């Protein structure tokens, strides 16, 4: 027997089932519906009595069940907003976080040449470097990642916006850009301790571990990035790194040990230490 068609309003009322799984049950349900129907949230509000086709309904059901099982909305809709951009994401990439926009803000506040050479280490789906390219189209932007699958998504995102001076290279941290120098290096590397219990909770369960964890104290990759930065920066070039809320003082010590000057840490919108930057004294 065929099920009676259900209305947009009926589908949205399913959001109550997501309470306890997410703080944004209504929004998540609407975003899934928008993706399935290829409509805007305004359209959903305007046409609450519109009937869903069987195809749309079964697609909605499949994605809604996956959300009930905890999968992040961004993976279900394969997209995520960052800065002013709408970016594709996949299970091979981290879902860009709002706090990472502070990395972009700090880079934009620097007094860099008009055609500055800028490097993003561990670019994932490309949010940081693409946001920078959107604001400074003449910057010569290079971004690296050791995941080919992540870079394929980053390339697709670049294709969507068509910025002229952005290139992606695959490899371990500085290895693919050996011998090159930059005016600014930005990085949001993995920085969670391997044994952090939060890795077993919520959305992060679905994200690639290689994008999240970095050794026993979470600092292995930051040690490599900060330790190697002077060799990849012009004199007085800047290094800006994201890190965990409780890693500020350890990260400042790593900058100081590697000969950086003007080392400062900045807090995110939640008041947590999140971004540290410093300038390279020597080449
Ligand atoms: C925390 S994610 C950040 C992704 C992206 N920049 C963002 O903010 O959404 C860290 C990224 O570093 C990459 N990565 C991990 N280890 C790496 C390595 N040894 N060399 C280069 N990239 C690495 C991961 O593949 C992942 O894309």
Domain contains 151: yes
Look up the CATH number of the domain holding residue 165. 3.40.50.150
- Select from 75, 88, 89, 146 the residue to mutate for testing ligand 1; criterion: most ligand atoms less than 8 Å from CB: 146
Domain contains 3: no
Give the separation between CA 7 and CA 16, rounded to whole angstroms: 16
Distances (CA, A) of 96 to 56, 82, 89, 100, 160: 28, 7, 9, 7, 17
Q: Is-contact 268 274, C-beta < 8 A?
A: yes
Mean pLDDT by 10 residues, the chain (283 residues): 76 94 95 97 96 95 96 97 97 96 98 98 98 98 98 98 97 97 98 95 93 97 98 97 98 97 97 97 72
Look up the CATH number of the domain holding residue 60. 1.10.8.10
Per-position b or e across 70-94, b if 16+ CB within 10 A of its CB:
ebbbbbbbebbebbebebbbbebbb
The residues facing 87 across adjacent strands are 80
Domain that holds residue 256: 92-280
The residues facing 264 across adjacent strands are 277
pLDDT per position as a tens digit, 55-83: 999 999 999 999 999 999 999 999 999 99
Q: Is-contact 116 184, C-beta < 8 A?
A: yes
- Residue list, ligand 1 pocket, CB within 6 Å: 94, 96, 100, 122-124, 127-128, 144-147, 150, 172-173, 188-190, 210-211, 221
Residues 199 and 275 in one domain: yes
Direct distance between the N- and C-terminal alpha carbons of the chain, in angstroms, rounded to an integer? 75
Domain total of the chain: 2
Residues 42 and 171 in one domain: no
CA 268 to the chain's CA centroid: 15
- Select from 79, 188, 211 the residue to mutate for testing ligand 1; criterion: most ligand atoms less than 8 Å from CB: 211
């Amino acid at each position: 027997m065929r099920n009676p068609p259900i209305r947009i309003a009926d589908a949205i009322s399913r959001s109550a089932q997501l309470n306890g799984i997410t703080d944004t049950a209504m929004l998540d349900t609407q975003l899934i519906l928008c993706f399935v129907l290829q409509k805007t949230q305004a359209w959903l509000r305007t046409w609450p009595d519109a009937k869903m086709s069987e195809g749309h309904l079964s697609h909605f059901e499949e994605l809604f069940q996956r959300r009930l099982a905890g999968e992040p909305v961004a993976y279900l809709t394969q997209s995520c907003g960052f800065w002013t951009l709408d970016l594709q994401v996949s299970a091979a990439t981290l879902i860009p976080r709002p706090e990472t926009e502070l990395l972009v803000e700090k880079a934009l506040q620097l007094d860099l040449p008009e055609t500055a050479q800028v490097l993003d280490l561990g670019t994932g789906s490309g949010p940081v470097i693409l946001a920078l390219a959107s604001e400074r189209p003449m910057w010569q932007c290079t971004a690296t990642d050791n995941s080919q699958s992540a870079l394929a998504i980053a390339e697709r995102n670049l294709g969507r916006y068509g910025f002229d001076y952005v290139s992606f290279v695959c490899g371990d941290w500085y290895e693919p850009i050996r011998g090159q120098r930059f005016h600014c290096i930005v990085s949001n590397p993995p920085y969670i301790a391997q044994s952090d219990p939060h890795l077993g909770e919520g959305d992060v369960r679905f994200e690639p571990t290689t994008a999240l964890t970095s050794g026993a104290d979470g600092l292995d990759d930051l040690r490599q990035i900060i330790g190697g930065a002077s060799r990849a920066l012009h004199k007085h070039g800047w290094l800006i790194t994201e890190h965990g809320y409780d890693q500020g003082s350890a990260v400042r010590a790593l900058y100081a040990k590697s000969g950086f000057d003007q080392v400062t840490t900045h807090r995110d919108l939640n008041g947590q230490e999140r971004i540290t930057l410093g300038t390279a004294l020597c080449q």
